[in-house]
Structure 1
Amino acid sequence: MITRIATRVRALSGWRAHGVVLVAGLLGALALPPIYISPILLVVFPLLIWRMDVTRGWRGAFGLGWLFGLGYFMGMTHWVGAAMLVDIATFGWLLPIAVVGLAAILGLFPAVTLALVRPLWRAGHPARVLLMAAAWGLGEWIRTWGLTGFPWAPLGMTWMPFDGILQSASWFGVLGLSLMTALVACAPVLLEESLSRRMAWSLLVLTLFLPLALEGLGQLRLAALEGEEGGDPLLTVRLVQPSIPQTDKWNRELMVGNLRRYIAMSRLPGLDKVDVVVWGETAVPYAIDRMADVRAALAEAVPPGGILITGAPRVSGEGENRAFYNSLFALDGSGQVVAVFDKFHLVPFGEYVPFGEYLPLDKITVGAGDFSPGPGPRTLDIGDLPPVSPLICYEVIFPGAVVDPMAERPQWLLNLTNDGWYGRSTGPYQHFQIARMRAIEEGLPIVRVANTGISGVVSPLGQVSALLGLYEEGILDLEVPKPVQERTIFSRFGNKIPVIFSLIICAFGVFLQKRKVKYNKI
């Protein structure tokens, strides 16, 4: 049966072939949060391999990878279109361009890696499964830094519901999980009747054994480390989520009322029992460092002897030398700023316009002019609090790049964000799960506060005790657990591990293809 399906897929031509590949990419995105239809990958990746078998040279492989990527990334990042609806009169016309354009750019990554492995490809050979998995793994790594980087929701995040398997991210990161996922997803190809039954079943059992082995090892890690989380917490935080719609957030007539709402929620009973009150990204719409009256008002939200941490814009310099930053401010009970952090990884078209001197476009966020990047990542000392690595908005999506490797190791991660731009789409759900993955990789707890959700605290093992859901108004007082005692393997070596694994698997695939194996040449 598998052989008959493979033959029909290879025989497709013209618009039918292109349509099947595009739809396969769209379906592949269903494996990601918050839907998690992971078995769909067992159909999608074999189809991609069978179409790869009939490509002509690297150009054909490039086109195949791009078309598949176009569908896959449209399914993954369609939520970006919601940002264009916040000011629909100005930016509504950009919605289809944003959704399709971003997917078209991201599709270049699988396109390039499939083109690179095409000269090594032997159609019909079982070892090409290894080449496809390696190509996908390398493509996701390139996506972490290529074209400024956008490693949103890697394939390995399909395992988010499985706490045991997730622990392997502490060894080889989410990109290693993506590599393993691609390898498993390609496994049905090994059941083609053209292969030796003995070899096919041996390879299939070995491949499908991987997630079972990782689940078992992960459960052992959980059992060994959960005992460490006992005792006194690292600190206690109050997360404030007022759930102010994006359309109201920058309305000048509502700004003062919104700020009073933040302060009132922060002052609810129990304030004296927390160390830190945390608000979301640009929760304060004023330049705090230049407005003493605003700082005095914010002092009311500071817990006794504690700290208020909030996002706010920052302005530096005057006149032509003036620069704008998307910043995090920490204030004490007297309203004094005790620490500042400027966002270092800015969102293209959201916070600055690439090649702005040539493109007749404005950024979609409020305010004239582009934001400027700050230095980062950084370890920040805030009063008597444990050292922290702050991350604003999508800075948390970059595996291996959330902690300053040259500074003192932080004891926790802090992510302030504003996902109100994306409404009730899949974007906020994916963003929260991405933050969970960083906690496991680094072995550090993460505190996440979003203006409209999702807010919560994630343990260094990726476990969540309580959440403020999407568009849920409220506060949460939570204890932040301590980091794991010993640094994770991934925190020491980062993405070098999955890249090396991908290269080894690719080399092994080439080696096996040179051996005499019974298979049908296509």
Structure 2
Amino acid sequence: MKSINTKFILIAPLTGGILLLTSPGIGFASLAWFALVPLLALIRSPRITAGKACVVGFATGMIYFTFLLSWITIVLGHYGHLPLWITIPALIALASYMSLYPAIFSYLTARTRDTVPLFWFAPLLWVGLDALRNRAFSGFPWMDLAYTQYSHPFLIQVADLAGHHGVTFLIVMVNCLIIEFSYGMNGRKRTQRPWPLIAAVALVLLAMVYSPWRYREINNQLAKNPTMSVGIIQGNIAQGQKWRPEIQLETLDKYLSLSRRQLAASPETDLLIWPETALPFYLQTSSLTKFIRVLTEAHPDLAVLTGAPRHALDPSGTEIRYYNSAFLIDDQGLINDRYDKRHLVPFGEYIPMKPLLPFLGPLVESVGDFTPGTSHLPIIHNTTPIGVLICFESIFPELARTQSEAGAKLLVNLTNDAWFGLSGAPWQHLSMAVFRAVENRRGLARAANTGISGFIDPLGNLSQLSPLFADFSATSTLPVMAEKTFFTFLGGHYFGFICLCLATIICVYDGYLRKKRIIIIHA
């Protein structure tokens, strides 16, 4: 009994600690393939009740998410000017919400362990819960397990079939198979029927064969695809200075200077990308746009894609709406196209349920009051459709997918990660963009105010990554691809939805069996 209690206490910090080591920025990605083994071993034990498993699952989540999301305190405290008595509870509240998912996972997996093999139910439930978290309360799909593998392109090519959820499914299944085989080696009872186990092993092996095969196939295609020369500029403007009116000209001058230097080194550049809100003024009405015209007119066929705020009247003409936008400025210095950010950051760009939560206004005085965009259509440069993702839109698979389905042949991500400070968050944010490229087989250029900027090819390979908090510019040739993947065709949530439905059916069936056993016992 003492041994059981000791294990019970140690499981949460052990599992949570290993998971934390797998996160981008720390980078022990290989640990993800057995990070869940301690928790799953506890769940598998018949001496542990579902309730106790739930407690350990929640504790595991709290340890993992509290450290993983600690950058929230930088965003709210340093840049949001909120006191510690608000930032720390906010972090704990967010970590608690995120921890509900591993708690539910642990409870239901322990409850159904006698009904269905762990190595099938656990991956289905984990991915199903991820899909739910991706959608609930506007969605916060931050650092699903798959993203730990962003730097291993040979392992993630199945994402063009099932998205990042497919990679998460495999990671959880491998963790479960380790438990299953360790039970057999220790002489303990394994799953009675061999076919479910054989099928699970076959699925993992098939995925491991598919990924390198698909990698080579796409790599051969890239040599035949048309390309576009894309430049990225990282202005490294301090977040605390960025919106001061007196430095608007200085900010613009810095971007122009870095752009001229990069164009001198790479005159063949077709598209130059500046980060999210690189221009801290309204581009439509500012007299400063004349300086951008001088740059573009000097380089025929060049376009500049820059982030900037936008204002417009609502359809009734009575209210001014504000947008976080990206503007495409052509070689004549004219705004040729525009994209408005569709998925806004809650409590960063708007206050959710503002009429019901009026007391939050004074607490989050620096929050913007933006309106979400409505169009998912790509912008067009020289007949090439380009999908735009602004800031954390890159963490939502569906946004990149809908633009790719609508014809985008290239993806760009404009972001301002200065909010994160010196934390692991910029690496975490980058890791998710890698999967958007692989899922849709699109090259992706990323321009960040303070980093990490760089390029991602359709295979997920990263190149020319910038340092954090430094001036930076680079140019790369990215493939312009029209192929639509299985993932692009079916939708960003299809695999997660299937997993959630199957896990729900299994839970209902388990409940039916329990009820039936109770009736038999009392008969």
TM-score category, normalised to shorter length: 0.7 to 0.9
- One-letter amino acid matched to 1:487: K
Q: CA deviation at 1:247?
A: 2.0
Contact 1:164 1:216 in 2 (8 A): no
Contact 2:350 2:367 in 1 (8 A): no
Q: Which residue of 2 aligns with 1:68?
A: 60
Q: Which residue of 2 aligns with 1:165?
A: 155
Q: Which residue of 1 aligns with 2:78?
A: 86
Q: Which residue of 1 aligns with 2:20?
A: 29
Is the aligned partner of 1:152 residue 2:152? no
Contact 2:125 2:503 in 1 (8 A): no
Q: CA deviation at 1:81?
A: 2.1
Alignment of structure 1 residues 159-198 onto 2, 5 Å: 159-190=149-180, 191-192=182-183, 193=186, 195-196=188-189
Contact 1:9 1:50 in 2 (8 A): no
Unaligned runs of 5+ in 1: 1-6, 515-522
Query: Which residue, out of 468, 471, 487, partners 2:469?
Result: 471
Query: Which residue, out of 474, 484, 488, partners 2:485?
Result: 488
Q: Which residue of 1 aligns with 2:312?
A: 316
- Indicate the SS of the match to 1:186: helix
- Indicate the SS of the match to 1:449: strand
CA displacement 1:215-247 (0-9 Å, x = unmatched): 432222122221221256431111111222222
Cα pair distance change 1:385/1:428, threshold 3 Å: farther
Is the aligned partner of 1:327 residue 2:325? yes
Q: For 2:404 and 2:301, locate their aligned partners in 1 and report how far apart those are by CA, in whole Å.
A: 31
Q: For 1:48 and 1:144, locate their aligned partners in 2 and report how far apart those are by CA, in whole Å.
A: 23
Query: Which residue, out of 274, 283, 305, partners 2:278?
Result: 283
Q: CA deviation at 1:133?
A: 2.5
Contact 1:393 1:415 in 2 (8 A): yes
Cα pair distance change 1:197/1:360, threshold 3 Å: closer
- One-letter amino acid matched to 1:432: L
Q: For 1:207 and 1:386, locate their aligned partners in 2 and report how far apart those are by CA, in whole Å.
A: 42
- One-letter amino acid matched to 2:478: V
- Indicate the SS of the match to 2:310: strand
- One-letter amino acid matched to 1:300: V
Contact 1:28 1:40 in 2 (8 A): yes
Alignment of structure 1 residues 44-443 onto 2, 5 Å: 44-51=36-43, 56=49, 62-87=54-79, 89-116=81-108, 119-122=111-114, 127-190=117-180, 191-192=182-183, 193=186, 195-196=188-189, 213-231=206-224, 233-268=226-261, 269-270=264-265, 272-291=267-286, 293-302=287-296, 303-317=299-313, 321-357=319-355, 358-362=357-361, 369-382=368-381, 384-404=382-402, 408-443=406-441
Q: For 1:36 and 1:105, locate their aligned partners in 2 and report how far apart those are by CA, in whole Å.
A: 25
Most deviating of 196-205 and 75-84 = 196-205
Q: CA deviation at 1:82?
A: 2.0
Q: For 1:225 and 1:426, locate their aligned partners in 2 and report how far apart those are by CA, in whole Å.
A: 31
The two structures have a TM-score, normalised by structure 2, of: 0.84
Q: CA deviation at 1:453?
A: 0.9
Contact 1:77 1:103 in 2 (8 A): yes
Q: For 1:259 and 1:34, locate their aligned partners in 2 and report how far apart those are by CA, in whole Å.
A: 31
Q: CA deviation at 1:23?
A: 5.5
CA displacement 1:484-508 (0-9 Å, x = unmatched): x632211112332344356558878
Q: For 1:113 and 1:142, locate their aligned partners in 2 and report how far apart those are by CA, in whole Å.
A: 12
Contact 1:277 1:308 in 2 (8 A): yes
Most deviating of 426-435 and 84-93 = 84-93
Q: Which residue of 1 aligns with 2:521?
A: none
CA displacement 1:310-358 (0-9 Å, x = unmatched): 0011111299611111111111233321111111101111111123332
Contact 1:276 1:307 in 2 (8 A): yes
- Indicate the SS of the match to 1:108: helix
- One-letter amino acid matched to 2:291: A
Q: For 1:178 and 1:411, locate their aligned partners in 2 and report how far apart those are by CA, in whole Å.
A: 26
Q: For 1:411 and 1:394, locate their aligned partners in 2 and report how far apart those are by CA, in whole Å.
A: 20
Contact 1:86 1:247 in 2 (8 A): no
Contact 1:237 1:274 in 2 (8 A): yes
The two structures have a TM-score, normalised by structure 1, of: 0.84
Q: For 1:407 and 1:163, locate their aligned partners in 2 and report how far apart those are by CA, in whole Å.
A: 23
- One-letter amino acid matched to 1:259: L
Unaligned runs of 5+ in 2: 514-523
Q: For 1:389 and 1:94, locate their aligned partners in 2 and report how far apart those are by CA, in whole Å.
A: 37
- Indicate the SS of the match to 1:467: coil
Most deviating of 200-209 and 159-168 = 200-209
CA displacement 1:285-323 (0-9 Å, x = unmatched): 0011122x1221222332422211100111112996111
Identity %: 27
Most deviating of 180-189 and 191-200 = 191-200
Q: For 2:447 and 2:158, locate their aligned partners in 1 and report how far apart those are by CA, in whole Å.
A: 26
Cα pair distance change 1:158/1:202, threshold 3 Å: farther
Q: CA deviation at 1:42?
A: 2.5
May I ask how many residue pairs the two structures share in their alignment? 499
- One-letter amino acid matched to 2:485: T
Contact 1:234 1:482 in 2 (8 A): yes
Contact 1:23 1:71 in 2 (8 A): no
Q: For 1:295 and 1:453, locate their aligned partners in 2 and report how far apart those are by CA, in whole Å.
A: 25
Q: For 1:310 and 1:489, locate their aligned partners in 2 and report how far apart those are by CA, in whole Å.
A: 31
Q: For 1:300 and 1:418, locate their aligned partners in 2 and report how far apart those are by CA, in whole Å.
A: 26
Name the Cα RMSD after superposition. Answer: 3.4
- Indicate the SS of the match to 1:247: coil
Cα pair distance change 1:104/1:286, threshold 3 Å: same
Contact 2:404 2:488 in 1 (8 A): no
- Indicate the SS of the match to 2:342: coil
Query: Which residue, out of 5, 13, 18, partners 1:11?
Result: 5
Cα pair distance change 1:19/1:96, threshold 3 Å: farther
- Indicate the SS of the match to 2:384: coil
Most deviating of 131-140 and 164-173 = 131-140
Contact 1:363 1:370 in 2 (8 A): no
Q: For 1:8 and 1:341, locate their aligned partners in 2 and report how far apart those are by CA, in whole Å.
A: 61
CA displacement 1:402-443 (0-9 Å, x = unmatched): 233796321011110000111221111111111111100011
- Indicate the SS of the match to 2:311: strand
Q: For 2:233 and 2:305, locate their aligned partners in 1 and report how far apart those are by CA, in whole Å.
A: 11
Q: For 1:200 and 1:42, locate their aligned partners in 2 and report how far apart those are by CA, in whole Å.
A: 24
